[in-house]
Amino acid sequence: MIQWLKDLLQSNLVENSPGARTTRPAPAAPTPPKRVRAEQGETLAKQLALVIDLNVCVGCHACVTSCKQWNTSGSAGPLADFAPYGANPTGTFFNRVQTYEAGEFPGTDTIHFPKSCLHCEEPPCVPVCPTGASYKRAEDGIVLVDYDKCIGCKYCAWACPYGAREIDEERQVMTKCTLCVDRIYDEELPVDDRKPACVKACPTNARLFGDVKDPNSEVSIAIRERGGYSLMPEWETQPANQYLPRQITPMAHAAASIAPKATPPAFRSSPQD
């Protein structure tokens, strides 16, 4: 009762929401209050994102289970599970691996396609939130939900064309990929472990993680040199996460003994505008 009154009276109600907390307390040195929320249309200096390499994803779902394990135990959890050992198990996941088939038989290609929140630079889910629970972080561009402020109206999920948000039907709050915000800044972890759980779990290195605003980062180089593209560019959401298209690599020596496949035109080889 008192807490909600305090919240209502606070003038900086929305600006200083802690959101997802890092496991370490803030440094003791007095720092000026930091602006947490990015404004609509603001260009951020840093934008963390994933780049998914469709050449090497084998559809093993290791990223899905690793994501679920980390996040159900972390600041985003617990994530609901209904009938996990029953005939029809369902629950909250931040990451899904889907499978598509392209082309005509027998020259078909099977593409495994991981999908999570794309952390759009113009996220349509944020301005529609009536409470301000959904926000984009000014410091690193991660789109987050403050679970203590979410009223569970689901409007943000309607406003996401990618279906990246899933309501947790047990806690009745909206949940989504946090880019493991409670892990990537944790100074108690070895430096190599300060990556999203899905990235750490991928056995084929199909998931790259980094700052897409830094032109020399691994992700920026991959996007630039390997034709990284955005999903549904028609809605101008500017997804931060990008995908590397499947490219058929001719084999230098064995080429003569292997019949060439007739599908290369199926895949994009240049970035989509």
Footprint of other proteins on residues 124-153 (CB under 8 A)?
124, 127-133, 149-153
- Contact criterion met (CB below 8 Å) for 67 and 198: yes
In the list 15, 81, 109, 122, the residue contacting other proteins (rule: CB under 8 A) is: 109
Of the candidate spans 15-23, 182-190, 213-221, 239-247, the one that interacts with other proteins by CB under 8 A turns out to be 239-247
Counting beta carbons within 10 angstroms of the beta carbon of residue 188, is it exposed (0 to 12), middle (13 to 18) or buried (19 or more)?
exposed
Nearer to other proteins, 76 or 184 (CB): 76
> What token pair was written down for 153?
């109206």
Distances, alpha carbon 146 to alpha carbons 14, 17, 32, 236, in Å: 10, 8, 22, 25
Cα–Cα distance, 100 to 112 (Å, whole number): 6
Of the candidate spans 70-78, 186-194, 196-204, 228-236, the one that interacts with other proteins by CB under 8 A turns out to be 228-236
* Phi, psi dihedrals of residue 229, rounded to the nearest 5°: -135, 165
- Shortest spacing between CB 47 and other proteins, in angstroms: 19
* Phi, psi dihedrals of residue 83, rounded to the nearest 5°: 50, 55
In which element (H, E) is residue 154 found?
none
- CA 222 vs. chain centroid, Å, equals 17
In the list 38, 231, 240, 241, the residue contacting other proteins (rule: CB under 8 A) is: 231
Question: Is there binding between residue 267 and other proteins (CB under 8 A)?
Answer: yes
145 contact partners, CB below 8 Å, separation of at least 6: 19, 133, 134, 156, 173, 174, 175, 176
- Shortest spacing between CB 25 and other proteins, in angstroms: 27
In the list 51, 97, 179, 180, the residue contacting other proteins (rule: CB under 8 A) is: 97
Of the candidate spans 68-76, 168-176, 201-209, 211-219, the one that interacts with other proteins by CB under 8 A turns out to be 168-176
Counting beta carbons within 10 angstroms of the beta carbon of residue 255, is it exposed (0 to 12), middle (13 to 18) or buried (19 or more)?
exposed
Of the candidate spans 23-31, 85-93, 192-200, 209-217, the one that interacts with other proteins by CB under 8 A turns out to be 85-93
Question: Is there binding between residue 103 and other proteins (CB under 8 A)?
Answer: yes
Nearer to other proteins, 131 or 204 (CB): 131
Of the candidate spans 41-49, 165-173, 194-202, 254-262, the one that interacts with other proteins by CB under 8 A turns out to be 165-173
Buried b (16+ CB within 10 A) or exposed e, 111-139: bbebbbbbbbbebbbbeebeeebbbbbbe
Using alpha carbons, select from 228, 226, 251, 259 the residue that is nearest to residue 241.
Answer: 228
Question: Is there binding between residue 167 and other proteins (CB under 8 A)?
Answer: yes
Question: Is there binding between residue 78 and other proteins (CB under 8 A)?
Answer: no
Question: Is there binding between residue 13 and other proteins (CB under 8 A)?
Answer: yes
Using alpha carbons, select from 177, 139, 170 the residue that is nearest to residue 38.
Answer: 139
Question: Is there binding between residue 238 and other proteins (CB under 8 A)?
Answer: no
- Shortest spacing between CB 250 and other proteins, in angstroms: 20
In the list 88, 216, 249, 257, the residue contacting other proteins (rule: CB under 8 A) is: 88
Question: Is there binding between residue 264 and other proteins (CB under 8 A)?
Answer: no
